[in-house]
A and B are shown apart, each in its own frame.
Chain A
Amino acid sequence: MTRTARRTGRPMQVAALGVTALLALSACSSSDDSSSTDSGSSASASTSASDQLSGTVTVFAAASLKESFTTLGKEFEKAHPGTKVTFSFGGSDSLAASITGGAPADVFASASPKTMAIVTDAGDASGTPATFVRNQLEIATLPGNPDKIASLKDLTKSSLKVVLCDKTVPCGAAAQKALDASKLKLTPVSYEQDVKAALTKVELKEADAAVVYKTDVHAAGDKVEGVEFPESADAINDYPIVQLKDAQNTAAAKAFIALVQSAEGQKVLTEAGFLQP
């Protein structure tokens, strides 16, 4: 159920964000000053309100965090009655573009330091990002691994239809790094726009294999089979999280980041296939 919804729904969401970002980009710089002063004043107002957590905390998080963060969000709401966590999951790049374009968010959890840097470079982060999990690549194959794929090198067989993430998104960059490190040349049939799209192609059996994150293979259940490969150690992705400067609800934002980093939060994340930092 949720999987189907995600498969069809997510790329649309990403596309919509892309449009938002495009429009925001073409008009952002002129409104920068005014918007930052405005939200700055309202942010301080909400900080002084009370220590008691309340209100809504808005979290922009990488798509790969969807399952685990949704779980954590429910736990957070249970632990702090009166709060509500709203998520926007998407490609880290799109999310970063939205944030620098002025999208209202309290927390940003990215799938790569590079995309996080977009936000920090723009001065939209409050404090230094902290790495809260790491993600490792894995090969997703068809159930039962009919093509007997055992290594990254096996993917270079010309008879196989392999999809990679586009080099502009973290999973693609990581895969390229792993391939470069082992001096392999791989021509995929497609560079997918994000990791879920790559995984979908294998789930629909259109591609024989995809290089995706361990967490994605985990989330896909028995629709795909994961094959670990040693070169993935060369391309482990750090996931940084940060509170944003324009946060409306700083107290709740801080509390949510703390939950993610707590033992309880790490348990949920490792269960989903993430590595501890």
Chain B
Amino acid sequence: MTEPEPKKSTAAQRTVHDVHDARDVRDVRDRHDVNDVRPADSLADELDVRRAGATADGLDAHLVVQRGAFRLDVTLNVAPGEVVALLGPNGAGKTTALRALAGLTPLTDGRLRLDGSALDGTPPESRPVGVVFQDYLLFPHLTALDNVAFGPRCQGATKAEARAQAAEWLDRLGLAAHAGAKPRRLSGGQAQRVALARALATRPRLLLLDEPLAALDARTRLEVRAQLRRHLAEFEAVAVLVTHDPLDAMVLADRLVVVEHGRVVQEGAPSDIARHPRTDYIAQLVGLNLYRGEADGHTVRLDAGPPITTTEVLSGPVFVAFPPSAVTLYRDRPTGASARNLWHCEVAGLETHGDQIRADLTGELPLAADLTTVAAAELDLHPGARVWAAVKATQTHAYPV
């Protein structure tokens, strides 16, 4: 929403801000979008200039929707093949943004271009956009096959052609056996994949997913999340997903756009945002340390860094995540500690969020740790201080990539 007020000028904060200021162009651009009071046109021009090197492909949207007192004003630029997650609390305007992209909610102002052509005035049925709705909205009277064939049929394919295409999509998503099933006979995970197949079958240039995993129970969610990540990675056009779940966002998206009160408050790679939350909301929301590595039993070997011990038994490429609150800091190496995950780190920065302090650590393993102000004082934490960070295996979560 707004740049954090310049706080009491501690050394720690200055360090953090320095890091911010040195960040990539994208971040700087965000801040223009958020804070700049110049007319939208000149801003847009500037953005066009900035993007001039890139091709016109992908999504270039400035979504403005005024509804009563609520105003959504979000700028989104997504390249083909990129997956962007709109992350934010309920009522932040994420779904409105998604509906505006789909043409289901008209824009009050702004622009919407996809692969170089304007979509602003195009009705939803004529947009090359596919949507996976939160509760899928599979047509209950049609079989899985006919649900998927619906799009190709509407695009003019004959019944036989449409069905052949649909069968191919279902097969690709591992649902060939369920082609004849009505939606109510499908499990949550299957329904989710049918919904994805249905959206992909129209060969959209923009794929929108509204809380794609929210309707699933915790166990199914794990599997489906991993599958969905794979399918999204294969998708060659623009994908935008909306979620309030930071883990979904981090696993599925290449880039996060955090939306609060209708505005973009932060944008960047998941790890950046997790490490450097710019608002209290993000700090709480994105309170996760996320790593990628190769699993072998209980051990995950990171691409760069020490191994992490987990409770899950997996093999192959995985993500490991744990919340900053799971990290315990010690001034001296703990003796006889049960935690097998113990790393020697250096404090790179400190930030206050409510009554919590988030410590940004570098060293053996870069990570974020949350601790109370009292604990921080006891540990005498300051940038440059060296600490031991421990995480119990039970507090980590590993997921297949």
- Say if the two chains contact directly (CB < 8 Å): no
Give chain B's interface residues, CB within 8 Å of chain A: none
Give chain A's interface residues, CB within 8 Å of chain B: none
